[in-house]
Structures are given as structure tokens and as C-alpha cells.
A and B are shown apart, each in its own frame.
Chain A
Amino acid sequence: MNKTSGCEENKYEDSCEEIAFLSRKILDLNKQLIESEKAKSRFLSLVGNELNNPMTALLGMIPHLQPKGDEKLETIFSLVHEEALLLDFRIQNLVAAAEIENGDVSMTSALVDPKILVEEVIEALKYPMKTKSIQIRIDTSLEQKIVTDPQKLYLILKNIIANAIGYGTANGIVDVTIKERDSVVCITVKNQGRGPDVEYKPQVFTRFSPGPDGGHGLGLGLSIVRDLSERLGGSIDYVTDELSVTFMVKLPLETMLAESEACGSNEFLFESFDDAIEL
């Protein structure tokens, strides 16, 4: 603590005491909240992995069943493939949410071209795009690759682009832009249509909150997006006007892999603890 005059010291202690008192109250209230939400958390962590493994196997095998020449079979094939991709996406979200809540999210970093990730997302969402006849335009002015966690960024992009398709006007266009300004990479996804119908913005990012029209989906997507964006050192926000909704993900621009991570290790590399205090 800095040396302060006696009076200031007293004032500081008083406010500390008050904060402590209020914080205790919040802690008590919060306990009830956590208790009531516990079942949901447990559900997440149990279900996620049970579903994930068979799904991965299914998705690996389905493409080999692609029929040739028979129109009816091809229609059935694409329906099956579409549903499998959708199910897989929901499971990915469940697993991500469970990992975040369990505190075992491991971060990796790699050199990533966000445009390629967007293209992969579009490929995975080709069926819903086709159903709603939505076109996606990508506009990128980012020239270099960035250092980030590719899987996390992929899931972030997939969630916001899937929302843009899901909530966007049919036969419309979804615009994805990737830009860099002042060392911040900004990825925006804009769809035509009404914005989320909420009183306060944070509600949109709350878990298990219903979607705009009573809602499809689990209401997990945007809460995951927010958490992962923050983990990547960035942020997520959105703006609406009468005709469109634009979600923006901002990420720090890093173009060099840190040495420790380049070695693929999690080692604690900064200087030694030679003259450290031991407690």
C-alpha cells in the first residue's frame, strides 16, 4: 500500500469494510443462484463427451456413402448429411461449454488465415444456406495470417455465421468482412433481418436464453462465443439497425508465434525463480 495520510487511510479502510460487507451479501445470494444452475452444468459435462465420439465417427463415414446417379438416393443422402452436420455442430457447442465451465480449456496457437476458417465454416453450413437461399460474401483486406487458436476461432465464426443464416432473411445476403485496424483484427458478420429482441445486450450472450422467436437451438452459442473471444484476448459485440444485424469479433493482431508456444510446449519460460520468496 502507498503511504497515505491518516485520514485517507481511514477512508480507504471504511470503504473496504463496506465493500466486504456488500460482497458477502452478493456471495450469499449468488450461492442460491449457482445451486439452481448446477444441474445444467452437470448435464453439459456429462452429455458432451458421450455424444461427441460416435458423432465424429459418423461424420467421418457418411461422405463415403455418397450415391452416384440416383436422384432419390442423393436427396436422402444430403438430408442425412445435413442433419449429421447440424447435430455435430450442437455437440461441439455442448463440449465447448462443458470445457469452459470445467476450467479445462486448453489454448493452442497457430498461424491462421481467418478467411480459410470462414470458408470452412461456409462449407459446413452449406445445407442451411441452400435451404434459405442465402449467399455469403467474404470481403477481406487482411494480408497476413494471425496468431490465434484456430479451433476456438472456428467455433466462434461458426456460431455467428450460423446465427446469421438462421435469423437472416431468406434469399438474402450475409456479408463477412475481415479487416485490421490499429493492431486489432475485426471480423464482422452482417445479415439482413431483425436484431435480437432483448432489453439489454448482455441477455443475448446469456446461456440457455431463448432465441428471438421462442427459439431454436440450445441458447449456448453466443455465450460460448463471448467466452472464447475473451480467452483469445478479444471481444464480441453487435449493432443493429432497422434492416440488419452485425456481429463483430475483435481479436488482437499478433503475427509472430511466441517462442514457447512455437515449441508446442506449455513450459513456464520466463526467468528463473532463483531469488523468489517461498511460501
Chain B
Amino acid sequence: MIQGCSTFIHVGQVHIDSAPSAISTVLGSCVAVCLYDVKLGIGGMNHYLLPFWNGNGLQSPKFGNIAIPKLIEAMMEQGSTHTTLEAKIFGGASMNIGISDSMMIGQKNIMVAKEILKEYKIAIAAEDVGGQNGRKIQFNLERGKVLLKYTSRSDDSDRG
């Protein structure tokens, strides 16, 4: 049960909040990294669509290699360190068998999360990635737990 309000984030958003709030989103091949700081009781989530920014257009956090460092740095500005942070990764499903699956967007999105977290020496406490189902997640900042439900394949069109 969420006491405070739950903020829904879309692709390209990075959101940081403190207990008792919650942050939620819906994922397809997109990936969301959740960071939680046990000591400070704060947490943040991003939601990115593609693994790499290619130098074109704005350096938007809809790219993993922009969104993840941005989230980590924003948490560190609040006083977190890599030892107090733990990460959880969700999403990265293969949504369309066929064309877009051959690009393996989901797989690349997952990989980029793991690589960057490793680089920042942040432990991955839990993950639920890959597969073929979309996911709805709600990150409860009271305890740093994430509630996860799979979406049925015909379910929504809005997931990223």
C-alpha cells in the first residue's frame, strides 16, 4: 500500500523522490533502472528507450548511456555513495518477434545498464529482465521494494 503519491514516469524521464512516495512506469523493450539509498531513504528511477546516444540530437535520457549516469549522479548529489546505493533493473523484453527483435533492443538496453552499474561499482540487488512480456513496476521508496506485474501481450499500447 502506497501512503504518499505515486509518480508515473515516461520515456526519457529521470525522477528522484523520497519516502513515502512511489515511482511507477510501464516497460516493454525499454529498461528502467531503480536506485535506492537505504541510509537516506531516497530512490530514483529512469526509463530509457534505446541503449546509446549517437551524438545526434539532444543528449536526452531516453538513451541508456545518458539516463543511467544522470540518475546515478543525481542520487550522488543528494548524498548517496556507491556503497549506500543498490540497483534493480527491469524491462528489456523482446516485444516484436521479427524485425525489431533482430535489433535486440531489449538485450542491448539490459546490457548497457549492467555495464554502467558495474563501472560505478553499484551492486545489482534484483532484476527482472528480458522475456517477451511487458512489465508494470512500482518502486516503493518506503522500503525500496519494487512491485512488478507482467502485462498481457494484448494489453496496452503505451509501454516503452
Contact = CB atoms under 8 A, between A and B. Distances in A.
Nearest to A275: B149
B61 A268 contact: no
A30 interface: yes
Interface string B44-72: 00100001111111111100011101100
Given A231-B12, A277-B147, A279-B146, A101 B61 contact: yes
A102 interface: yes
Interface residues of B, number: 50
Given A16-B104, A103-B12, A279-B126, A34 B138 contact: no
Interface string B106-134: 01100110011000000000111011100
A207 interface: yes
Contacts of A267: 5-6, 8
B55 A101 contact: no
Nearest to B109: A23
B149 A277 contact: yes
Nearest to B156: A270
Given A19-B107, A103-B12, A273-B149, A27 B115 contact: yes
Nearest to A231: B12
Contacts of A31: 65
B30 interface: no
Nearest to B13: A103
Closest 9 CB pairs of A and B: A103-B14, A103-B61, A276-B147, A279-B126, A273-B147, A268-B24, A268-B6, A276-B149, A277-B148
20 contacts: A1-B131, A1-B132, A16-B107, A19-B107, A34-B53, A34-B65, A37-B59, A103-B61, A104-B13, A202-B56, A207-B58, A226-B57, A227-B58, A267-B6, A273-B138, A273-B149, A278-B147, A279-B126, A279-B128, A279-B146
